[in-house]
Structure 1
Amino acid sequence: MKVSITEDKERKIASKEHNTYVAEGIEQHKITQIAPPSLLKPFSSNLKCQLLSHQQVIEAQLYKLIGKPFYSDEGFILYQGDSSNFLQKIDSNYIKVDLTVTSPPYNIGKEYETPMSVEEYIEWCSQWIHQIHRITKPNGAFWLNIGYLEVPNKGLCVPIPYLLWDKSPFYLLQEVVWQYGAGVSTKYRLSPRNEKWLFYIKNAQEYTFNLDDIRDPNVKYPNQKKNGKYRCNPLGKNPSDVWEFPKVTTGTKRSSKERTGHPSQFPLGIVERVIRASSNQLELVLDPFAGSCSTGIASVGLGRIFLGFEIRPDYCEMAVSRFEEFKRQRANNYQ
Structure 2
Amino acid sequence: MTNITTKLQLGNCIELLREVPSGSVNQIFADPPYNLSGATFQTVKSGKMVTCDKGNWDIIDDIHRFNEEWVKECIRVLAADGTIWISGTLHNHPSIGVILKKLNLWIINDVIWFKRNAAPLLSKNRLAPSTELIWIASKTKKYYFDYETAKMINGGKQMRNLWEINAEKHKTSHPTEKPESLLERIILLGSKQGDTILDPFAGSGTTGVVAKRLQRHFIGFEISPDYFKIALNRINDEKTENKVVYSEKLLKQSEQLNLFLEEKANEYKAKCFEDKVKSEP
TM-score of the superposed pair, with normalisation by structure 2: 0.74
The one-letter amino acid of 2:109's match is Q
Ranges in structure 1 where 5+ consecutive residues have no aligned partner:
1-46, 53-73, 150-159, 220-235, 251-258
| Other structure's SS at 1:131 match | helix
Residue in structure 2 matched with residue 85 of structure 1 by the alignment: 15
Residue in structure 2 matched with residue 224 of structure 1 by the alignment: none
Ranges in structure 2 where 5+ consecutive residues have no aligned partner:
38-53, 246-281
The answer to whether 1:137 aligns with 2:84 is no
CA distance in 2, matches of 1:116, 1:314: 19
Match of 2:145 among 194, 209, 213: 209
Residue in structure 2 matched with residue 62 of structure 1 by the alignment: none
Match of 1:242 among 148, 157, 162: 162
The answer to whether 1:272 aligns with 2:184 is yes
| Aligned-pair identity (%) | 27
Match of 2:111 among 154, 176, 179: 176
CA distance in 1, matches of 2:208, 2:149: 19
The answer to whether 1:97 aligns with 2:25 is yes
CA separation of 1:184 and 1:122: change in aligned 2, threshold 3 A: farther
| Other structure's SS at 2:57 match | coil
The answer to whether 1:128 aligns with 2:128 is no
The one-letter amino acid of 1:291's match is G
Match of 2:57 among 113, 116, 132: 113
CA separation of 1:330 and 1:134: change in aligned 2, threshold 3 A: closer
The 5-angstrom pairing of residues 219-258 of structure 1 reads 219=155, 236-249=156-169
Residue in structure 2 matched with residue 61 of structure 1 by the alignment: none
* Structure with bigger gyration radius: 1
The one-letter amino acid of 1:113's match is W
| Other structure's SS at 2:136 match | strand
The 5-angstrom pairing of residues 47-58 of structure 1 reads 47=1, 50=2, 52=3
Match of 1:197 among 123, 127, 134: 134
The one-letter amino acid of 1:187's match is K
The answer to whether 1:312 aligns with 2:227 is no
The one-letter amino acid of 1:203's match is T
CA distance in 2, matches of 1:143, 1:217: 19
Residue deviations 1:103-160 (CA, integer Å, cap 9, x gap): 011000022435235xx101110111011111111101000001132xxxxxxxxxx3
CA RMSD across the alignment: 2.2
